[in-house]
Amino acid sequence: MRISRISPAFDYARLSELVQVWRLATSDDRVRRGARALDVQCDEGEVLSVFFSSGREIFLMVDAHVDGLALSKRIVQASPDDHLSAARVGLDSLNPCTLLQLLINSLAAPKGCGLSFNNVSGHLFVVPAGGIKRRAGLVEQVHALEVRVAQDGALGLHVRTFSSLRLKRYMRKSRIDPERMPRYAITPMGDLRRSFDGGEDELVMRQLGGKKHRMPFLDASTLEGYETCKLGILDETLRLLELRYGGCCSVEFEEFDDSARVSDTRYVSARWREEIRAMFGDERIVVSNETGSDEYGDVCEELAEALADLTGLEALVGEAADDEGKMLVRVIHEKGYFADGGEDSYTEQHPHSVVQHVTVETLCAQFSIPSAVVDSLAKELAIKRDVVSGSIRVFDWKGSGLGGLWTFGLVIDDDGDNGDNGGDRYAFVKVGSEGELDFAFEGWDPTGESAYSDLIDDLSLERGACAIVRSPEGDVDVIFDTVLFAVPDFAEIRKCLVGEQGRISRSREAIDGYLRESTDVSYAPIDERSGYYYAGVVGGGMQTKVPTAAVIRRTETLRGSGPVLPRILPLMDVDFVKTKALTVVPFPLKHLREWLAMNGLAFVCAEK
């Protein structure tokens, strides 16, 4: 398992022959205008790169032959209000990740490669081919990828969107007026630069409301697609780093050996469709038109027919009033429809039925109802039906071999105020050997009289924990979120795409060779008591386009002889929680969240 934490190494003696680093610091709370002066120097070519390690401290890298002292004095004089001081810093005294970020920020791609590398205000923004959106000859938006290295080596690949001030009325609302934000412009050469002239054609880093741009994590379908995805841009960044500073700087990703892996996911979707009919038994589905218009009657009829074809159950269009004992699909309008008034039927309660909502705007988005929408509706109904009946049927729990009584818990935040424990609450679900479900919602109890007192104490002490698992033997694992993700072998992917075939085979061997860190479920130990795991996309067939990275979770064993997570990896080898993807936490936690929502306890879960 290769994770997105990197370890840089340097030949400081050779590197000092190429560059020097200066530190600018302020005695004020933060640097207010220093970035403007630095951007001017970057544009003029005297400063190679800039990095803000904090709001009060800036590092700038210049050529070894430049008079760095005179340059620093000019920058200090250009920003008198910031009360800056300047001092040269030895390369070997820097945090290695700070030095690496300075080197990365200094990169520039050769013209014609399709990528534009822009060192702006201490950040590296890489604009791929097609990232500049124009209308009537004017730039409306720029989509870029920021390559960022945290001080602990964690790598960040963040999509940044710049929008023209001409579109400010369409921008996502924020407490900061777009007119007061730093402004940028595209030069005639296609580079992104800080702008000081003023004008409505300038860009600010702000998205348009409801139009978030997404860049695929991996596109291995063609070489062109690979070069404009996140992983391909990272690949090119590290290749340029090697070309410019080869022999002076090297980068290694942190790796761990997998000790447990579930790769049965190629069969998950097919297995779901085969077993879904048995899961529902002889129940029926009622599709209720709650839009207030008969105009959508045909859409509801089409949805009922599609659900009947998928589940094998009787599905019909009917009234929600006579809903007891049914699985009810309520067709409603999206939230924005009621912005100007009107009663949103989403808030109506149907306590005696399994209820799932779908917006008519989703159903009418295409000429026919998308099969993914129908599939998702059926899965949500199946999960909610489990919650109502108190027994798991979406998964063969008895046949899984887990046995005994398992407990899963979540940390909940209701923004309350309860002393040392803030607003934390805790929700738990016990799963018996036959798949029986027993839910509970608990607050922190100083008397320790709760049946879950030990788990609540564990969660309250392990700050940052998002979930907890207890095995029948009493072993306890806590799950933590991280900012890390699994990194496929992008060098091998590029080598394959530039080879004679120009494509990747769709075999299982190719998946294991090229997409191992993007597919299936994998666990790697850090030591005897902790480990990393991830759940990627469903590995059935060869998915050459992976929309998002496989996020890493960290686990820690608090009690017991060994980690619990390797035993329950199959509980994440399911696709009935997320559409076309595996769940990133054991699926009983999804049942627990549904129970919370169905009982009016839909607070913000720490687990996302």
pLDDT in tens, 249-266: 999 999 999 888 886 654
The CB-side HSE value for 517 (13 A sphere, CA atoms) comes to 25
Rounded Cα–Cα distance for residues 332 and 291 (Å): 5
CB 7 within 8 A of CB 251: yes
Q: How confident is the model at residue 304 (pLDDT cuts 50, 70, 90)?
A: very high
* Predicted confidence (pLDDT) per residue in 164-222, tens digit: 988 888 887 777 888 888 888 888 888 888 887 766 678 989 988 878 888 999 988 88
- Compute φ and ψ for 271, nearest 5 degrees: -65, -40
Name residues whose C-beta falls within 8 Å of residue 528's C-beta, 6 or more positions apart in sequence.
Answer: 562
DSSP per-residue codes, 360-418:
HHHHTSSSS--HHHHHHHHHHHHHHHHHHHTB--SS-TGGGT--S-EEEEEEEE-----
Tell me what pLDDT residue 480 has: 93
| Cα 33 to chain centroid, rounded | 32
Question: How confident is the prediction for the chain on average, in pLDDT?
Answer: 84
Number of H helices, E strands in the chain: 14, 30
- What per-residue confidence (pLDDT) applies to 256? 94
Which has more pLDDT, 282 or 14? Answer: 14
Q: Hey, which of 96-105, 285-294, 574-583 has the most confident mean pLDDT?
A: 96-105
**φ and ψ at 112, to 5 degrees?**
95, -5
- Which residue shows structure tokens 């090119």? 236
With a cut of 70, say whether residue 325 has pLDDT above it.
Answer: no
Nearest Cα to 545, choosing from 249, 294, 225?
225
Do residues 278 and 395 lie in contact, with contact meaning Cβ atoms separated by under 8 Å? no
Q: How far apart are CA 156 and CA 147, in angstroms?
A: 6
What percentage of residues in the chain have a pLDDT greater than 70?
Answer: 86
What does the pLDDT average to over 345-372? 84
Q: What local confidence, expressed as pLDDT, does residue 476 receive?
A: 94
pTM given for the model:
0.86
Highest-confidence segment of 180-189, 258-267, 327-336, 429-438: 429-438
What percent of the chain shows pLDDT beyond 90?
A: 35
pLDDT value of residue 222: 85
In this model, does residue 307 exceed pLDDT 70?
yes
Angle 286-291-297 from CA coordinates, rounded to 5° = 60
pLDDT digits (tens, 9 = 90+) for 382-410: 899 899 889 998 888 988 888 899 999 99
pLDDT of residue 600: 76
Q: Is the pLDDT score of 322 beyond 50?
A: yes
Q: Nearest Cα to 42, choosing from 67, 71, 14?
A: 71
Instruction: Provide the pairing of β-strand 314-317 with 284-289.
Output: parallel
What's the whole-number mean pLDDT along residues 128-135?
Answer: 90
- Quote the CA–CA distance of 363 and 149 in Å, as a whole number: 42
Question: Can you tell me which residue has the tokens 């290695």?
Answer: 96
Tens digit of each residue's pLDDT (9 = 90 or more) over 7-49? 999 999 999 999 999 988 887 777 766 566 566 666 566 788 8
How is residue 491 annotated by DSSP?
A: H
Whether residue 418 has pLDDT greater than 50: no
Helices 297-311 and 371-389, axial angle in degrees (round to 10): 70
Angle of the 371-389 helix axis to the 588-598 helix axis, nearest 10 = 80
Q: Which residue would you say has higher pLDDT here, 117 or 424?
A: 117
Instruction: Inform me whether the pLDDT recorded for 79 exceeds 60.
Output: yes
582: phi then psi, degrees, rounded to nearest 5: -85, 155
Mapping DSSP onto H, E and C, the string for 65-113 reads CCCHHHHHHHHHHHCHHHCEEEEEECHHHCCHHHHHHHHHHCCCCCCCC
Q: Which two tokens stand for residue 311?
A: 């589940």
| pLDDT confidence of residue 606 | 43
From residue 240, how far is each of 223, 237, 250, 253, 350 by CA, in Å?
A: 18, 5, 12, 17, 59
What is the mean predicted confidence (pLDDT) over 103-108? 90
Q: Do residues 124 and 235 touch, judged by C-beta distance below 8 A? A: no
Lowest average pLDDT, out of 26-40, 70-84, 134-148, 443-457, goes to 26-40
For the record, the structure tokens of 568 come out as: 């329950």
Give the lowest-confidence range in 318-322, 420-424, 465-469. 420-424
- How far is it, in rounded angstroms, from Cα 83 to Cα 538? 55
Count of CB atoms situated within 10 Å of the CB of 33: 13
Task: Decide: 141 and 162 in contact? Cβ < 8 Å.
Answer: yes
Residue 73 or residue 509, greater confidence: 73
pLDDT for res 267: 47
Give the CA distances from residue 235 to residues 87, 249, 385, 443, 448, in Å, rounded to whole numbers and listed in that order.
34, 16, 46, 48, 53
What pLDDT was estimated at residue 479? 94
- For residues 31 and 255, give the distance between their C-alpha atoms in angstroms, rounded to a whole number: 38
**Angstrom distances, CA of residue 286 to CA of 317, 318, 351:** 6, 6, 15
Yes or no: say if 479 and 553 are a contact pair by the CB < 8 Å rule.
Answer: yes
